[in-house]
């Protein structure tokens, strides 16, 4: 099936499913919209939106908080942590979860076990983003249509819901093989491949168990057990590769080329890869961005805005030909590289240095594969940067930071790591005295559901970060 066909299909299903379901964000019923959309249409819309939701979270705040990106405008509110809510991402996540809720309940009624199992995994991914960015959130009575002011469930309870969803999906997937198949082209992540979805569910379980590393609930052996059932190679990476128009990061790059400025790379990320912060130049950097007129890689200081006069290319930004921001670049949800770094962290915590060393190096090699670099490139980089010695937790977070470029998962890492990346500093003109720990709730919630919205600041930690 061609990408152009999938793109046309995605337009169709997204239009078809818009407004469907009992979404508490929608206050009016449209009598012209079908109340029971085609289940494969819900699958198509939900699977594609799950990937694009992560990009919206990253581009809206997470990539700036971890200083992958910096605003070209001085003291941009997101760049400087000035009351950031990212209400657009909140709305997108809840619209997607509403469609997934309908996908699951309609599929259960019709005995479509494949759809149910995959729907539960998609729900876990989207719900995880809500909790990791905002904390407490509506869920248990948010999708029934019975109230426009749903109660907020605690972040701790929602994490248990995530684990339950993943466990239920894993239990359903073996029996799902005998259920009716998903329509061709309706699953934009794995095209209905149940084995890969099973490995993804275990990999996600490892991710969320690893988020508990700063809590008394952390169980390194449980993380490693999930890893053992997770991805086995980069071929298992969960990603969308077909889009309505183009990869949304490509749209950022195209817009920037048209002087709608965005996608400028932070000085922090550039210096972490160009040989300034660390002595080893990272060969992944040239595949991400451009060189300046001085044949160098230069980033923009967060909060300071662009340093050049605009007449010449004096700083780095996403370009339409980049490995991460071309039209059909994969939009990753979770990867084999991430799983190997999770394994390395858990193995180190459990005292298994040998397993940690092996997993760490496998993670770097997987990242190089993802960036279309050869094994010899990875070996040369590993040899120069780390030699044959034992790795430590700082090494894991350093490499994971580069490997997960633009993935909002890195903001979870930054908080678990207490923003301990080398030379990491607050932006110029930062509105907070410390690095942010969560987002504020959007005005759609504080205006309409104020009685249930928690009173928080951006410095209040989510439970796994305390």
pLDDT, tens digit, 9 for 90 and up, residues 416-457: 999 999 999 999 999 999 999 999 999 999 999 999 999 999
Residue recorded with tokens 């190997």 = 340
Over residues 133-143, the pLDDT tens digits come to: 999 999 999 99
pLDDT band at 310 (very low <50, low <70, confident <90, very high): low
Over residues 319-365, the pLDDT tens digits come to: 999 999 999 999 999 999 999 999 999 999 999 999 999 999 999 99
Q: How far apart are CA 49 and CA 86, in angstroms?
A: 17
Over residues 231-242, the pLDDT tens digits come to: 999 999 999 999
Over residues 357-396, the pLDDT tens digits come to: 999 999 999 999 999 999 999 999 999 999 999 999 999 9
What are the CA-CA distances from residue 301 to residues 267, 298, 415, 436 (Å)?
A: 5, 10, 21, 18
Q: Which of 1-15, 41-55, 149-163, 197-211 has the lowest mean pLDDT?
A: 1-15
| Alpha carbon 412 to chain centroid, angstroms | 10
Q: What is the pLDDT of residue 390?
A: 98
Over residues 100-143, the pLDDT tens digits come to: 999 999 999 999 999 999 999 999 999 999 999 999 999 999 99
Any residues with CB less than 8 A from the CB of 56 and at least 6 apart, and which? Answer: 86, 88, 89, 92, 248
Q: What is the pLDDT of residue 12?
A: 44
At 17, give phi and psi (nearest 5°). Answer: -90, -10
Over residues 264-309, the pLDDT tens digits come to: 999 999 999 999 999 999 999 999 999 988 899 999 999 999 987 6
CATH of domain 3-246+329-465: 1.25.40.390
């Amino acid at each position: 099936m061609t990408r152009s066909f999938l793109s046309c299909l995605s337009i169709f299903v997204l239009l078809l499913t818009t407004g469907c379901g009992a979404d508490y964000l929608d206050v009016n019923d449209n009598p012209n919209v079908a109340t029971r959309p085609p289940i494969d249409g819900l699958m198509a819309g939900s699977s594609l939106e799950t990937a694009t939701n992560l990009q919206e979270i990253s581009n809206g705040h997470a990539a700036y908080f971890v200083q992958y990106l910096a605003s070209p405008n001085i003291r941009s509110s997101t760049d400087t942590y000035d009351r950031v809510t990212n209400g657009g991402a909140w709305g997108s996540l809840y619209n997607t979860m509403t469609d997934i809720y309908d996908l699951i309940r309609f599929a259960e009624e019709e005995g479509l076990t494949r759809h149910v199992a995959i729907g539960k995994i998609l729900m876990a991914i989207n719900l995880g983003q809500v909790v990791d960015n905002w904390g407490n959130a509506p869920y248990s009575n948010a999708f029934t249509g019975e109230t426009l002011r749903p109660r907020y469930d605690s972040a701790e309870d929602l994490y248990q819901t995530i684990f339950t969803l993943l466990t239920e999906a894993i239990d359903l997937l073996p029996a799902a093989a005998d259920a009716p198949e998903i329509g061709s082209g309706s699953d934009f992540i794995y095209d209905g491949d149940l084995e890969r979805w099973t490995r993804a569910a275990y990999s996600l379980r490892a991710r969320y168990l690893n988020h508990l590393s700063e809590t008394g609930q952390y169980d390194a052996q449980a993380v490693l057990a999930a890893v053992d059932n997770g991805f086995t190679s980069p071929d298992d990476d969960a990603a969308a590769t077909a889009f309505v128009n183009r990869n949304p990061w490509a749209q950022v790059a195209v817009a920037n080329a048209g002087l709608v400025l965005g996608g400028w790379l932070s000085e922090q990320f550039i210096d972490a890869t160009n040989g300034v912060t660390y002595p080893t130049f990272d060969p992944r950097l040239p595949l991400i961005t451009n060189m300046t007129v001085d044949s160098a890689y230069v980033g923009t200081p967060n909060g300071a805005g662009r340093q050049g006069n605009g007449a010449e290319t004096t700083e780095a930004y996403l370009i339409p030909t980049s490995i991460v921001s071309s039209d059909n670049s994969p939009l990753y949800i979770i990867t084999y590289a991430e799983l190997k770094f999770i394994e390395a962290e858990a193995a180190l915590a459990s005292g298994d240095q040998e397993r940690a060393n092996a997993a760490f190096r496998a993670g770097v090699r997987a990242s190089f594969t993802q960036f279309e670099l050869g094994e010899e490139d990875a070996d040369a980089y590993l040899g120069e940067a780390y030699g044959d010695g034992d790795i430590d937790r700082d090494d894991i977070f350093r490499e994971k930071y580069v490997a997960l470029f633009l993935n909002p998962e890195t903001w979870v890492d930054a908080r678990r790591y207490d923003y301990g990346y080398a030379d990491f500093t607050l932006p110029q003109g930062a509105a907070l005295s410390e690095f942010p720990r969560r987002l504020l709730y959007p005005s759609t919630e504080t205006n309409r559901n104020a009685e249930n919205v928690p009173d928080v600041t951006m410095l209040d930690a989510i439970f796994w970060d305390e």
